Amino acid sequence: MSLFRWVLEASFLSLILGIFLSSRVLLENGCAILTSLWRRLYAPWTALRLRDLGILQEEKHTRKVTFAWRRLIIPVVAVSIAVAVGDALVSPLVLLSGAAALMWAQYQSAEAQRAKVNEDAELAVLQMRSLLNVDHSLLNSLNAIDLPDGSLKTAIQEVASRLQMHQPPEQAALALKNLPGAVTARLAALIANSSRITDEVQMGLFQAVEVEAHRQKAIRSKTRQTLALVRGTIRLLQGVAAAATIFVLLTPDWRIFFLQDVPHRVLLTVLLLCAVFASLYFEFEVHQLGRGEAF
């Protein structure tokens, strides 16, 4: 047997072994991702059905769980285009792009909810400082806070009810523990440690937290104003790119031209990937700067 034959067979065997090893790990990771995705999608739907049936009792002040029907537009459009094109290369690509857009929309929605909690916490700190100046009681201040409906309002009411049941502040503040945001965490720490510090120190710390929250809010507002033009331009370009893609994939002449042979298919694939990645990159860039992590 020649040396080349040996090398060839060894390389073939090593490739098969390598593919087996990597595909096993990839399959495991893929199964884990699919399971978590299924749980995430299935849990809100199940909760909604159980609430409709009256099996799950809705808590007072809890925001009603609603199924985001508008989010269904993205997968419906992606699946429709994929079916209409019916190509082994382009259809999966369209589905993947739709999945990426859906995931991005969900991420942004979760971020918006987090930002709302943080903004509510800023309001709560501002009101607490004013109320503590007048009435030096933590419980009265918490009871008098007026916030828009949301998870922070519910949590603050729970803290107040725990304090009324004579729980120590450390335990009462645990109601705020699972809420996101830096200001929320600072507010929880101030409530939890309120029995250890003097009124003067407490007022000073509330003032410091309030000043920082105010600064963050002012910079976020300024950044959003500055980014408005950039965001609008990118939205326009994204819209035109999406319209162009849909037009090219659904118009017979254009579709036949781009799917006529492998080089044209590769060109279409590269263009689609380029548009999708560029859209996601710009979205992420603007989102990151607007979120305020930089400040």
Partner 1 sequence: MDAYPLAVGFSLAIGIGLVANATLSTLFSLGRRWFLVLGRRRYRLHALGIENQAKDVHTDDEILGLSGIPWVNLYAGAAVTGLALFFWIGHYLPSARLAFLAAPGMVWLFKGYLVRQRRRFLLGQIRQLLIDLRLHMSLRGSMLLGLENVVQTTHENNLVYRVLKLRTSGGQAKSGLDVLRQVAADLKSAHLVRIVQRIQAAQQSGGVLTMDQALVSSIDELTEEINSQTEEQMQRLPLRITLLAMPFLLGPIVILFFYPLVDRILQTLSGTGIGGGF
Q: Based on CB atoms, which residue is closest to partner 1, 23 or 46?
A: 23
- Residues 241/279, Cβ–Cβ less than 8 Å: yes
Segment lying near partner 1 (by CB under 8 A), choices 34-42, 76-84, 147-155, 234-242: 234-242
- Site for partner 1 (CB under 8 A): which residue of 6, 10, 36, 149? 10
Is residue 101 part of the contact set for partner 1 (CB under 8 A)? Answer: no
Q: Interaction with partner 1 in 197-226: which residues (CB under 8 A)?
A: 197, 201, 204-205, 208-209, 212, 219, 223, 226
Residues between 120 and 139 with contacts to partner 1, criterion CB under 8 A = none
CB of 233 to partner 1, least distance (A): 7
Q: How far is the CB of 264 from partner 1 (least distance, A)?
A: 9
40 token code pair = 């995430």
The C-alpha atoms of residue 54 and residue 6 are separated, in whole angstroms, by 70
Locate 118 and state its tokens. 């943080």
Which of 6, 17, 43, 137 touches partner 1 by CB under 8 A?
Answer: 17
294 touching partner 1, by CB under 8 A: yes
Instruction: Establish if 275 lies at the interface with partner 1 (CB under 8 A).
Output: yes
Are 153 and 61 a contacting pair, CB within 8 Å? yes
Q: Which is nearer to partner 1, 13 or 68 (CB)?
A: 13
Instruction: Give least dist CB 165 to partner 1, A.
Output: 23
Taking CB atoms within 8 Å and a gap of at least 24, the contacts of 269-276 are: 269/89, 269/90, 269/93, 272/90, 272/93, 272/94, 272/97, 272/245, 273/93, 275/241, 275/245, 276/97, 276/100
Kindly write out the interface string for residues 28-57 of this chain, putting x where it contacts partner 1 by CB under 8 A and - elsewhere. Answer: -x----------------------------
| Sites for partner 1 among residues 167-186 (CB under 8 A) | 177, 179-182, 184-186
